Amino acid sequence: MTQVETAARTTSGTQRTERIEARANALLGDCRRAFHAFGELDELAENLRILSLNAELAAGRAGDKGRAVRALTQYTRELVNRLAQIRGEMNQLRQRTDALSEKIEEELRQLRSIEENSFGGGDSAVFAEMMRSLVDKLDDLSTNVEELSRRAHGVEEVVSQSDSIATNIAIEAAAAGVHEKEFRTVSDTMRRYVDNLRTMIDEASDAVRRALEKVDSLRRLGIENLQSLRG
């Protein structure tokens, strides 16, 4: 092989790794944005919990007129517990994704180094093995993104249910007499928290959607490269 041919193959190989690296970085960026969007989930869940406790006290003061509101606040606490569970699962998922992203980034650096320094040489078997390892990690990352998507859907369900509770409390407020203002305040506050949750889920869902698109494309690219190495 002439020096020109070797240089051409090296450039082609380096560009191939650069394409994978660029797509991987974009994908990991989407994952980080999704996790970041849920950064205030704990605070919102705590706000909902405190609101439900205050609403239950108000319902107690209202006697029979607060019976339905009391039941609604108990359901709200169940939703708060669900948010806490989702948040715990997301923390674990983020730790796994961060650890996986570090491994992917390191393997990409090593792949680029091999291609830049000895593409087509004796390190081709090592390169192929590393590419296979990278594809495996991309499979794991794909699973993580799918799990993140399911958690985001779980938050969406909580948002929808919380919105329904706020509406029902507003309906009860209309028939609560002197306690109407207090119940109305609970309903309005809950709607504000719901709006914050909805904004959060919109931002996260957009990042998750982009990540799902990228991870499938990136995995296919890795498999194509692995197949080309096998000849």
> What pLDDT, on a 0 to 100 scale, did the predictor assign at position 123?
61
Say which residue the tokens 């669900």 belong to. Answer: 82
Say which residue the tokens 């690296």 belong to. Answer: 21
Tokens of 53: 């406790």
Tokens of 9: 């193959």
Rounded to whole angstroms, the Cα distance separating 191 from 45 reads 13
Q: Tell me if residue 231 falls in helix, strand or coil.
A: coil
**CB 201 within 8 Å of CB 141:** no
> What pLDDT, on a 0 to 100 scale, did the predictor assign at position 170?
94
Tokens of 78: 């169940």
pLDDT at 144 over 80: yes
Tokens of 115: 């291609």
Tokens of 75: 């359901």
For residues 66-85, average pLDDT: 93
Tokens of 127: 């390169």
Say which residue the tokens 């959607």 belong to. Answer: 209
Tokens of 214: 């990228």
Axis-axis angle for helices 67-118, 124-174 (nearest 10)? 160
> What φ, ψ does residue 8 adopt, rounded to 5°?
-65, -45
For residues 14-25, average pLDDT: 78
| pTM higher than the cut 0.75 | yes
For residues 140-145, average pLDDT: 89
Structure-model confidence comparison of residues 120 and 104, the more confident one:
104
**Alpha-helical segments (H) within the chain:** 3-37, 41-62, 67-118, 124-174, 180-230
194-210 pLDDT, tens digit per residue, is 999 999 999 998 999 88
Structure-model confidence comparison of residues 175 and 11, the more confident one:
175
Tokens of 186: 């609970």
Residue percentage of the chain with pLDDT more than 90: 50
Please count the residues of the chain.
231
Rounded to whole angstroms, the Cα distance separating 48 from 40 reads 12
CB-CB neighbours of 53 under 10 Å? 13
> What pLDDT, on a 0 to 100 scale, did the predictor assign at position 168?
95
